[in-house]
Amino acid sequence: MPKNHLNNENPTYKKLNDLYSIQMAKGQLYETIITTKNINGFEKYQGHLKESDDLKTDDKSTNTNGPVNAAPIGVLCKNSKQIVLYLYEGTHTVNNIHNQDYFIVNITQNPIIFTKSTLEDLSDEYFEYYHEIPFLKDADAFFVCHVIKIKEITKQNDLGSSKMSIVTANVEEVVKMKSQAIPLNRGVYAVIESLIHYTRFELADEETKTSYWARIKEMDRLVKKVGSPQEKAALSRIIKEIEENFKDLD
């Protein structure tokens, strides 16, 4: 990790041992905000990279504490000290990670930060630096990741075929900044949404029942992808209950 010569290590930060100490679990996918330093020579243009006219190089040596980038990204917890990212081509994040050894994963549940970092660039006042790597001042916790492997693949999906980078990174430091730091997992929300649809089933006409059923099956698909064993069990139970009590929904 770069030496922390900025010397801005806040004494109130609490350093923790590993990902399990911020309630991440092996095999689970969490929605986070990844912060990286931007590579010189590129500008954000409607969500795609565009080579800047006046910069002919993306020489890393000139890229010290330049503009920074934040984007919502799913983080798979491989084990207590390792994560995996699945990054689509054409984002600042993937480009920056291809060009730098370190990035930071920020833990937050703040909906405004998720929205702003998706729809626009966050302004400088959102960031601070830890060992020269940008992080979100307002995060509940963050961890510093060291890239150890990048594998490029082409994946078939709903959008046709997409190039992706599978990034494996070791977690070097975990820092908790607020007393409560819970990584965001979509599984529990899928269970709650499904339960709300379930409780309205009795009252719904046939058309509405069919639409609730489609939504619950979508939540089941989501939970199978990102949920915990408990969330998967909860969705299976909801589906079984509906299948037993309501016929001809498909």
Residues at the site binding ligand FMN, with contacts judged by CB under 6 A: 31, 47, 69, 71-74, 86-88, 91-93, 118
Interior CA angle at 244 toward 243 and 249, to 5°? 35
Give whichever of 27 and 47 is closer to ligand FMN, judged by the CB atom.
47
- Round to the nearest angstrom and report the end-to-end CA distance of the chain: 54
Contacts of 51 (CB under 8 A, 6+ apart): 41, 42
* Nearest distance from C-beta of residue 201 to ligand FMN, angstroms: 29
Q: According to the 3-state scheme, what is the secondary structure of 25-84?
A: CCCCEEEEEEEEECCCCEEEECCEEEECCCCCCCCHHHCCCCCEEEEEEEEEEEECCEEE
User: Own/partner pairs for 122-128, CB < 8 Å, 24+ apart?
Assistant: 122/70, 124/67, 124/68, 126/70, 127/35, 127/68, 127/70, 128/8
Q: Characterize the bridge pairing of strands 102-107 and 141-157.
A: antiparallel
* Nearest distance from C-beta of residue 55 to ligand FMN, angstroms: 17
* Nearest distance from C-beta of residue 37 to ligand FMN, angstroms: 12
* Nearest distance from C-beta of residue 203 to ligand FMN, angstroms: 32
Contact 219, 190 (CB under 8 A): yes
* Nearest distance from C-beta of residue 170 to ligand FMN, angstroms: 18
Contacts of 161 (CB under 8 A, 6+ apart): 154, 155
* Nearest distance from C-beta of residue 101 to ligand FMN, angstroms: 18
